[in-house]
């Protein structure tokens, strides 16, 4: 019944009919985002931004546990600075926005708005790193970056998007590689334990790695439509930038050395991932640990004496237990309210009316399953906390089943083509390591390499594409 009302109120496209339109509808109707007058530059509305604030709060604490410190670098990069590392500038210059005037004066040198900040951090590192005592430097910044993309979609591809970028310098390659793995694991754990999004962890092929990196690591997630979303990356740079920027330190051996560098980042793209992993035809479904509102309290027959007070009392108890709770005592109809908070993906709805008060109980309705339960008010804090955990676990298991059910071991290019065309999802296939075969996979089966997973399997001895000896098993798929 509530579901019927939702459809009436929200009028979003069915995901089975048009997944892309369903996604856009959810972004708009759940009031996560709005369009601005510049193509590809979006407005993060309060509800969408509140999700990002929760992501920031939780990840920031994890970063700080690893010893990372926050800084803020300028948003502009002089063109000459961007050009210092050859691969890096080749990758980013074509999508930079360029500032050419300051006030009414034409600038002597163009400045680009940061598409990423490796070059700015390197310039700063050069001025503050001199001795092995200055290492490691583990910095992070929360900011927005700008890439002049041709096409755009809310959360998935913006010209300007919010993200964090970690930049670290270490005395040895080994320490830098450890950092790369450590931060990839921070992302993986966050995606699984907070966003309920199961991940495939692995390394990018050379073709897919970050401009200027020696190695790129990634966490890949499968969306409800079986496409892949690259959800976080961590890069090992070796000493390439250090050499280009002439950053050196005096080691314990009293010799000059180049430090070894990493960078790592996630963005508001993850919010797109949450929507496409957990959402349904009634709208957004938020994993409880990230939901701005975990419990929406709806008083039933709220005009009757004592109802509002009883609802406020329950709300206060939940809030005191650290649960993010809100009450809607507006004069909108219950049907409107049910639909509204379903659209917004609030994990639990708590209904409390005169009869419930008499019986010292309330009704809890789960957003994920629609399941309705009468529970005692006696221990409502623990009951709600347990149900929120159960919703998290349910969402995670459902997403994991989607990932597992739609991942296929394929022994030949033909099999990849057949499976991918018919069903979509991820193909696991052996690979010889040659770019040629990677390009052929794209050309003939329409899939790109997602990653060389850490969890390798030996499917056969030969490359699925060319039949030469295989080096690695690779995940292939269609990506956002």
| Residues in contact with 167: Cβ distance below 8 Å, sequence separation at least 6, in sequence order | 117, 118, 121, 139, 140, 261, 262, 263
In the complex, minimum distance from the CB of residue 132 to a second copy, in angstroms, rounded to a whole number: 14
**Do β-strands 137-146 and 69-70 pair in parallel, antiparallel, or remain unpaired?**
parallel
Of all helices (H) and strands (E), which one includes residue 109?
strand 105-113
**Which of these ranges, 11-19, 123-131, 363-371, 378-386, lies near a second copy under the rule CB under 8 A?**
123-131
Among 160, 165, 351, 438, interactor with a second copy by CB under 8 A: 160
Task: Answer yes or no whether residue 78 interacts with a second copy by CB under 8 A.
Answer: yes
Cα gap 156→167, rounded to integer Å? 23
Query: Using CB under 8 A, which residues numbered 13 to 72 contact a second copy?
Result: 34, 36-38, 41-46, 49-50, 52-53, 69-72
In the complex, minimum distance from the CB of residue 442 to a second copy, in angstroms, rounded to a whole number: 24
Among 102, 306, 322, 469, interactor with a second copy by CB under 8 A: 102
CA distances for 457 relative to 222, 409, 413, 426, 448, angstroms: 19, 10, 18, 14, 19
Query: Using CB under 8 A, which residues numbered 190 to 219 contact a second copy?
Result: none
Q: What number of chain residues touch a second copy (CB under 8 A)?
A: 50
Among 12, 27, 30, 73, interactor with a second copy by CB under 8 A: 73
Instruction: Give 114 or 278: the residue with its C-beta nearer to a second copy.
Output: 114
Among 1, 11, 16, 104, interactor with a second copy by CB under 8 A: 104
Instruction: Give 245 or 475: the residue with its C-beta nearer to a second copy.
Output: 245
Nearest to 244 by CA among 83, 76, 77, 74: 83
Is residue 410 within 8 A of residue 391, CB to CB? The reply is: no
Binding mask 400-419 for a second copy (x = CB under 8 A): --------------------
In the complex, minimum distance from the CB of residue 326 to a second copy, in angstroms, rounded to a whole number: 13
Beta bridge partners of 334: none
**Which of these ranges, 142-150, 179-187, 188-196, 382-390, lies near a second copy under the rule CB under 8 A?**
142-150
Instruction: Give 91 or 433: the residue with its C-beta nearer to a second copy.
Output: 91
CA 110 to chain centre: 32
Cα gap 260→26, rounded to integer Å? 43
User: How many CB atoms lie under 10 A from the CB of residue 401?
Assistant: 11
Q: Residue 115 has which token pair?
A: 């598409």
Query: Using CB under 8 A, which residues numbered 439 to 478 contact a second copy?
Result: none
With b for 16 or more beta-carbon neighbours within 10 A and e for fewer, the 288-318 pattern comes to bbbbbbbbbbbbbebeeeebeebbeebbeeb
Task: Answer yes or no whether residue 98 interacts with a second copy by CB under 8 A.
Answer: yes
Residue whose entry in the numeric block shows the structure tokens 């951090």:
121
**Do β-strands 426-431 and 372-376 pair in parallel, antiparallel, or remain unpaired?**
unpaired
User: How many CB atoms lie under 10 A from the CB of residue 195?
Assistant: 28
Q: What are phi and psi of 288, to 5 degrees?
A: -55, -35
**Which of these ranges, 119-127, 172-180, 181-189, 230-238, lies near a second copy under the rule CB under 8 A?**
119-127
* DSSP three-state, residue 290: coil
Instruction: Give 78 or 394: the residue with its C-beta nearer to a second copy.
Output: 78
Instruction: Give 41 or 411: the residue with its C-beta nearer to a second copy.
Output: 41
Among 20, 74, 393, 401, interactor with a second copy by CB under 8 A: 74
Among 144, 152, 383, 412, interactor with a second copy by CB under 8 A: 144
Cα gap 424→113, rounded to integer Å? 37
| Residues in contact with 458: Cβ distance below 8 Å, sequence separation at least 6, in sequence order | 473
Beta bridge partners of 309: none
Instruction: Give 103 or 455: the residue with its C-beta nearer to a second copy.
Output: 103
Instruction: Give 52 or 264: the residue with its C-beta nearer to a second copy.
Output: 52
Instruction: Give 292 or 353: the residue with its C-beta nearer to a second copy.
Output: 292
Instruction: Give 283 or 292: the residue with its C-beta nearer to a second copy.
Output: 292
Is residue 451 within 8 A of residue 478, CB to CB? The reply is: no
The one-character DSSP state at 132 is G
Instruction: Give 346 or 452: the residue with its C-beta nearer to a second copy.
Output: 346
Instruction: Give 160 or 214: the residue with its C-beta nearer to a second copy.
Output: 160
Among 9, 27, 59, 96, interactor with a second copy by CB under 8 A: 96
Per CB under 8 A, residues contacting a second copy are 34, 36-38, 41-46, 49-50, 52-53, 69-76, 78, 81, 94-104, 110-111, 113, 120, 123-124, 127-128, 139, 143-144, 146, 148, 160, 162
């Amino acid at each position: 019944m509530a579901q019927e009302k939702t459809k009436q109120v929200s009028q979003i496209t069915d995901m089975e009919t048009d997944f892309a339109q369903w996604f856009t509808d959810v972004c708009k109707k759940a009031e996560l985002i709005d369009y601005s007058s510049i193509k590809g530059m979006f407005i993060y509305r309060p509800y969408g931004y509140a999700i990002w604030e929760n992501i920031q709060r939780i990840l920031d604490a994890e970063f700080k546990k690893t010893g990372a410190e926050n800084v803020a670098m300028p948003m502009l990069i002089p063109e000459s600075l961007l050009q210092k590392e050859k691969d890096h500038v080749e990758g980013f210059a074509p999508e930079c926005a360029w500032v050419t005037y300051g006030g009414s004066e034409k600038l002597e040198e163009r400045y680009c708005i940061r598409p990423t900040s490796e070059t700015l951090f390197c310039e700063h590192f050069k001025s503050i790193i001199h001795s092995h005592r200055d290492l490691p430097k583990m910095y992070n910044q929360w900011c927005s970056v700008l890439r002049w993309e041709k096409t755009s979609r809310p959360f998935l591809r913006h010209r300007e998007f919010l993200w964090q970028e970690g930049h670290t310098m270490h005395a040895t390659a080994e320490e830098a590689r450890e950092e790369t793995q450590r931060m990839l694991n921070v992302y993986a754990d966050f995606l699984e334990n907070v966003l309920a999004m199961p991940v495939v962890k692995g390394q990018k092929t050379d073709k897919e790695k970050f401009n200027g990196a020696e190695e790129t690591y990634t966490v890949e997630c499968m969306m409800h439509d079986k496409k892949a979303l690259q959800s976080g990356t961590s890069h090992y740079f070796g000493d390439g930038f250090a050499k280009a920027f002439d950053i050196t330190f005096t080691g314990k051996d009293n010799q000059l050395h180049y430090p070894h560098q990493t960078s790592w980042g996630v963005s508001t793209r993850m919010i797109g991932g949450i929507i496409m992993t957990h959402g349904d035809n009634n709208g957004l479904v938020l994993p409880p640990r990230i939901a701005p509102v975990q419990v929406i309290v709806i008083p039933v027959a709220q005009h009757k004496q004592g109802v509002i007070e009883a609802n406020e009392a329950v709300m206060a108890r939940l809030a005191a237990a650290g649960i993010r709770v809100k009450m809607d005592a507006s004069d909108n109809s219950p049907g409107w309210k049910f639909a509204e908070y379903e659209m917004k993906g609030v994990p639990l709805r708590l209904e409390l009316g005169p009869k419930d008060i008499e019986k010292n109980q309330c009704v809890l309705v789960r957003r994920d399953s629609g399941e309705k339960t009468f529970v005692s008010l006696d221990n409502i804090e623990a009951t709600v906390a347990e149900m929120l955990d159960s919703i998290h676990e349910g969402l995670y298991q459902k997403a994991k089943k989607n990932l597992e059910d739609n991942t296929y071991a394929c022994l030949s290019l033909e099999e990849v083509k057949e499976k991918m065309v018919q069903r979509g999802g991820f193909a696991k296939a052996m690979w010889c390591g040659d770019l040629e075969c990677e390009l052929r996979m794209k050309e003939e089966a329409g899939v790109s390499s997602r990653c060389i997973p850490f969890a390798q399997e030996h499917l056969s001895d030969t490359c699925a594409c060319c039949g030469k000896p295989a080096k690695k098993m690779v995940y292939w798929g269609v990506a956002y």
